[in-house]
Amino acid sequence: MRTAFYVSDGTAITSEVFGHALLSLFPAEFKHQTIAFVESVEKAEEAKRKINKEYQRSGEKPLVFQTFVNPEIGKIIENSDGVIYNFLERFVIPMEQQLGIQATPKAHRTHSIHENSYNYRIDAVNYALANDDGGNISNYEHADVILVGVSRSGKTPTSLYLALQYGIKAANYPFTEEDMDELKIPACLKDHKKKLFGLTIDAQRLMDIRDGRMANSRYSSARQCRMEVREVEKLYKKEKIPYLNTTKLSVEEITAKILSITGLQRYKY
């Protein structure tokens, strides 16, 4: 199995994202190793030894995705036994020519506390935690979006991902078994109907998830899961609430689709 290294003098998030995006195009399995905060010559030499050792072990040159601000440190990694991919260096000169501005690289700038979106994201995470699962229904006026759906349809992880990645204040509210006899928009949500976004899921998948949580219960039964999914989807259609089936989607894909459908402003950069 080929090894991929993600090396940086910062968090290595950029090199991971770039590398994973490229490797996902290929039908192969890779062993992943991240080496972050390589901020000195000594640490760079240590990272180089790890790369070289992997080459000696496997006989295949590791793929090395790197992002370095300090060219001296970056050069050490480039002289390793890996195949180097430095996408920042590839695009900097053409972009300087296009913008008419010289780049001024600075360590940790890409994912630092000083970026404009930082406070948005921290506030949004706190909001998502405080307004999870209908636990607080008193400040929905501050929500950018309110996710609704049956239990285990993906509301909580989606709310947190929207907050952490995009600075979007996402509350979520569950439709429970007690709501199903006469399912309607709860009174606490009526004034915020335009903020509602529904999540649904295939009944079989919902049953599998719930069975792992409460096996052999009414909550996880096929009949209960089918009924709840049927009722919430009827509500979404009746009230014209936009909704999404999460069955085959990752949380990244769910959030991307929500952003695309709603046009919510992102606070990522």
Angle between helices 41-58 and 71-78 (to 10 degrees): 20
137 and 258 both lie in a single domain: yes
Better-scored residue on pLDDT, 94 or 117 = 94
pLDDT of 114 reads 53
19 and 126 housed in the same domain: no
What pLDDT, on the 0 to 100 scale, is given for residue 112? 53
64-82 per-position pLDDT tens digit: 999 888 888 999 999 999 9
Question: Is 81 contained in some domain?
Answer: yes
Split into its structural domains, the chain has a count of: 2
**Judgement on whether residues 176 and 129 belong to the same structural domain of the protein:** yes
Supply the range of the domain harboring residue 10: 2-99
Is 128 in the same domain as 212? yes
pLDDT of residue 71: 85
Last residue of a domain, one of 65, 99, 133: 99
Domain membership flag for residue 79: yes
Kindly state whether residues 132 and 255 are assigned to the same domain: yes
Mean per-residue pLDDT of the chain:
92
DSSP string, the chain: -EEEEEEESS-SHHHHHHHHHHHTTSSS-EEEEEE----SHHHHHHHHHHHHHHHHHHSSPPEEEEE-S-HHHHHHHHTSSSEEE-HHHHHHHHHHHHHT------TT-TT-TTSTTHHHHHHHHHHHHHTGGGS--S-GGG-SEEEEEETTSSHHHHHHHHHHHH---EEEEEE-GGGGGG----HHHHTTGGGEEEEE--HHHHHHHHHHHSTTSSTT-HHHHHHHHHHHHHHHHHHT--EEE-TT--HHHHHHHHHHHH-PPP---
55 and 10 within one domain: yes
Answer yes or no: do 147 and 251 share one domain.
Answer: yes
Specify if 189 maps to a domain.
yes
Task: Supply the pTM of this predicted model.
Answer: 0.73
Single residue among 46, 69, 99 that ends a domain in this structure: 99
User: What pLDDT score does 110 carry?
Assistant: 57
Same domain membership, residue 123 and residue 94: no
CATH of the domain at 135: 3.40.50
Residue 40 maps to a domain: yes
Contact 44, 77 (CB under 8 A): yes
